[in-house]
C-alpha cells in the first residue's frame, strides 16, 4: 500500500491498534469500532504510516536484533543509492547529522559558517554546537534559499563552510554555491532535511557539497520517528562520520577518536526502508497538489516559485500574503491547519548575539504561511483549502 489512503495515517497509535485489532490496520470500519477518530480539521501534516511499516517494524521486533543488525546498513545503502551518493551514514536525527558533518569536516572554534537565517533553528544550532560561529546571510526573494549573491558578501578569511538549506523542498542553486565555496577555499554542506527527492538540474539535493544531511522527523517525507542521514561521496569523510556516531570505535574496544552515540536503531531503519519505497509516489502527489493550488491561487496570493532547473519536493506549500492575520482567521474558520515557517528568523532569536538586519528574510518572516500539501489530501479537502485561502485573501 502506498500510504495515500491508508487509514493508519491517523497514526501515533499504531502498536496499540495492532494489539487491539489483531493487525487489522487497513480497515476503516475496524478503526472506527476501536474508537479512532480522525480530527475534524485538515491537518497541515501527518506521518503516512501504514501496515507495511507495521510489518517491517514487527519483523525486527520479533528478530530480537533491535540495534546493530542488518537493517541500518541496508537503509543506508538504499538511501544513498536513491540519492546517487556513494555513502549513507544513518544517525539519530537531522540536527546531529549536521553537527557530526561539521565535526567530520574539522570545523570548530574560531571558524565561521555562513547559514541562512530563514530556516529551522537546527541549521544554526549545529554550527554553535561545534563551537563555530554562524554568520547569517539573506535569501533570494523568489526561492527563499541562499544564493551566491547573498552568500558572497558574508565570506571572510574565517569562513570554513557554507550550509545551503533547501527550504520547503525547493533546491538552492548548489552548483553555483559549490563553485563559490571552492573559489573561496571553503566547503559547502547541504541541509536537505526538507527536500528529500528534490533535484537541481536532474541531480539529487545533498550530492553537490562535501556532504548532505536529511531528517526523518514525523513531518518529513520519509520518517523513522526520529532519525537522520548524512550522504557523501568522500570515503574518508564517511569513515570519520561512522566513527563519530559510534564513540570513535574503529573496532570493538578500539577507540581512535572521541565520538558519541548517535546510531540509528534497526527498528527505525526498517521503517525508513519502507517509507523510502513510497517517496517518489508521495512527491508526485505533492507536486500535483501544488499545480492545483498554483492554478487557482496565483492571482490572489504570492505562490511558491520554482527556479528553472529545480524539481521541487513541496515539503511545504508556502504562500506569502499581505494580511496574514486575516488569512489565519479564514483558515481557522474553515478548519484548515496551517503553519508559520518561520515567524522569527534565527538572527532575531534571543539565543544568538545581535546581528545585522536581513531585509528579505525579515519581510518573508512577516508574510509566509504554509497550507496543507499532504500526499493523502483528498480532492474535497484540497477544495476546502483553496476556498479558505480565497476567502482569506478577499
Ligand atoms: C531545515 C532543517 N534542518 C534541520 C532539521 C533538524 O532535523 P531534526 O528535527 O531531525 O533534528 C530540520 C527539522 O525540522 C529542518 O527543517
131 vs 125: CA distance, rounded Å: 10
Same domain, 201 and 312: no
Same domain, 299 and 228: no
Same domain, 103 and 126: yes
Same domain, 320 and 264: no
Q: Which three cell numbers stand for residue 213?
A: 544531511
Q: Which domain holds residue 290?
A: 279-393
Q: pLDDT tens digit string along 78-114?
A: 999 999 999 999 999 999 999 999 999 999 999 999 9
Which atom of ligand 1 lies closest to the CA of 194? Answer: 16
User: Range with the lowest mean pLDDT among 13-17, 32-36, 366-370?
Assistant: 13-17
Same domain, 260 and 296: no
331 within domain boundaries = yes
Kindly state the average pLDDT of the residues 365-374: 98
CATH label of the domain that carries residue 344: 3.90.1150.10
Please, which pLDDT band fits residue 59 given cuts at 50, 70 and 90?
very high
Same domain, 224 and 260: yes
Same domain, 218 and 155: yes
31 within domain boundaries = no
Determine the pLDDT at residue 353: 85
Same domain, 98 and 229: yes
Does ligand 1 have an atom closer than 6 angstroms to the CB of 316? no
Q: pLDDT tens digit string along 277-313?
A: 999 999 999 999 999 999 999 999 999 999 999 999 9
170 vs 167: CA distance, rounded Å: 6
Determine the pLDDT at residue 27: 53
Same domain, 174 and 224: yes
Pocket probe mutation, ligand 1, options 94, 168, 218, max atoms within 8 Å of Cβ: 94
Does ligand 1 have an atom closer than 6 angstroms to the CB of 120? yes
Task: Please say which residue of 236, 271, 306 terminates a domain.
Answer: 271
Residue in 265, 254, 211, 225 with CA at minimum distance from that of residue 90: 265
Does ligand 1 have an atom closer than 6 angstroms to the CB of 122? yes
Q: pLDDT tens digit string along 337-359?
A: 999 999 999 999 999 988 889 99
d(CA 193, ligand 1 centre) in Å: 5
63 within domain boundaries = no
Same domain, 154 and 240: yes
Q: pLDDT tens digit string along 137-184?
A: 999 999 999 999 999 999 999 999 999 999 999 999 999 999 999 999
Q: Are 228 and 97 in contact (CB under 8 A)?
A: yes
- State how many domains the chain has: 2
Report whether the peptide linkage leading into residue 342 is cis, meaning its omega lies within 30 degrees of zero.
Answer: yes
Does ligand 1 have an atom closer than 6 angstroms to the CB of 94? yes
Cell 516559485: give the residue: 305
348 vs 81: CA distance, rounded Å: 39
Please, which pLDDT band fits residue 35 given cuts at 50, 70 and 90?
low
CATH label of the domain that carries residue 156: 3.40.640.10
Residue in 274, 279, 280 with CA at minimum distance from that of residue 74: 274
Q: Whose CA is nearest to atom 14 of ligand 1?
A: 120
Same domain, 262 and 380: no
* Angle, CA 142 vertex, CA 139 and CA 144 arms, to 5°: 35
Burial class (CB in 10 A: 0-12, 13-18, 19+), 355: middle
Pocket probe mutation, ligand 1, options 44, 93, 95, 146, max atoms within 8 Å of Cβ: 95
340 vs 328: CA distance, rounded Å: 10
Determine the pLDDT at residue 355: 84
Task: Please say which residue of 224, 251, 271 terminates a domain.
Answer: 271
Full-model pTM: 0.92
65 vs 249: CA distance, rounded Å: 20
Same domain, 308 and 196: no
362 within domain boundaries = yes
Amino acid at each position: 500500500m502506498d500510504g495515500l489512503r491508508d487509514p493508519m495515517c491517523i497514526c501515533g497509535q499504531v502498536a496499540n491498534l495492532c494489539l487491539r485489532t489483531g493487525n487489522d490496520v487497513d480497515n476503516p470500519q475496524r478503526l472506527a469500532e476501536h474508537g479512532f477518530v480522525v480530527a475534524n480539521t485538515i491537518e497541515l501534516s501527518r506521518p503516512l504510516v501504514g501496515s507495511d511499516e507495521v510489518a517491517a517494524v514487527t519483523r525486527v521486533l520479533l528478530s530480537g536484533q533491535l540495534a546493530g543488525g542488518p537493517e541500518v546498513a541496508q537503509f543506508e545503502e538504499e538511501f544513498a543509492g536513491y540519492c546517487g551518493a556513494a555513502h549513507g551514514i544513518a544517525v539519530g536525527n537531522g540536527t546531529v547529522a549536521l553537527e557530526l558533518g561539521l565535526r567530520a569536516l574539522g570545523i570548530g572554534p574560531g571558524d565561521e559558517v555562513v547559514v541562512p537565517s530563514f530556516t529551522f533553528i537546527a541549521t544554526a544550532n549545529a554550527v554553535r554546537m561545534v563551537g563555530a560561529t554562524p554568520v547569517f546571510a539573506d535569501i533570494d526573494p523568489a526561492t527563499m534559499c541562499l544564493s551566491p549573491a547573498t552568500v558572497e558578501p558574508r565570506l571572510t578569511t574565517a569562513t570554513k563552510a557554507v550550509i545551503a538549506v533547501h527550504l520547503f523542498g525547493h533546491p538552492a542553486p548548489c552548483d553555483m554555491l559549490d563553485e563559490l565555496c571552492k573559489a573561496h577555499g571553503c566547503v559547502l554542506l547541504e541541509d536537505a532535511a526538507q527536500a528529500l527527492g528534490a533535484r537541481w538540474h536532474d541531480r539529487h539535493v545533498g550530492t553537490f557539497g562535501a556532504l548532505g544531511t536529511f531528517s526523518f522527523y514525523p513531518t518529513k517525507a520519509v520518517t523513522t520517528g526520529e532519525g537522520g542521514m548524512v550522504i557523501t561521496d568522500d570515503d574518508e569523510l564517511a569513515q570519520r562520520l561512522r566513527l563519530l556516531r559510534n564513540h570513535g570505535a574503529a573496532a570493538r574496544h578500539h577507540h581512535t577518536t572521541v565520538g558519541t552515540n548517535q546510531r540509528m536503531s534497526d527498528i527505525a531503519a526498517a521503517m525508513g526502508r519502507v517509507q523510502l519505497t513510497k517517496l517518489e509516489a508521495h512527491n508526485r502527489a505533492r507536486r500535483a497538489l501544488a499545480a492545483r493550488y498554483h492554478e487557482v491561487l496565483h492571482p490572489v496570493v504570492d505562490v511558491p516559485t520554482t527556479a528553472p532547473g529545480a524539481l521541487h519536493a513541496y515539503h511545504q506549500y508556502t504562500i506569502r500574503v499581505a494580511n496574514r492575520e486575516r488569512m489565519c482567521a479564514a483558515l481557522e474558520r474553515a478548519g484548515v491547519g496551517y503553519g508559520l515557517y518561520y515567524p522569527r528568523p534565527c538572527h532575531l532569536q534571543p539565543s544568538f548575539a545581535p546581528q545585522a538586519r536581513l531585509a528579505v528574510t525579515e519581510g518573508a518572516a512577516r508574510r509566509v504561511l504554509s497550507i496543507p500539501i499532504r500526499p493523502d489530501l483528498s480532492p474535497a479537502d484540497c477544495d476546502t483549502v483553496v476556498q479558505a485561502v480565497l476567502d482569506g485573501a478577499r
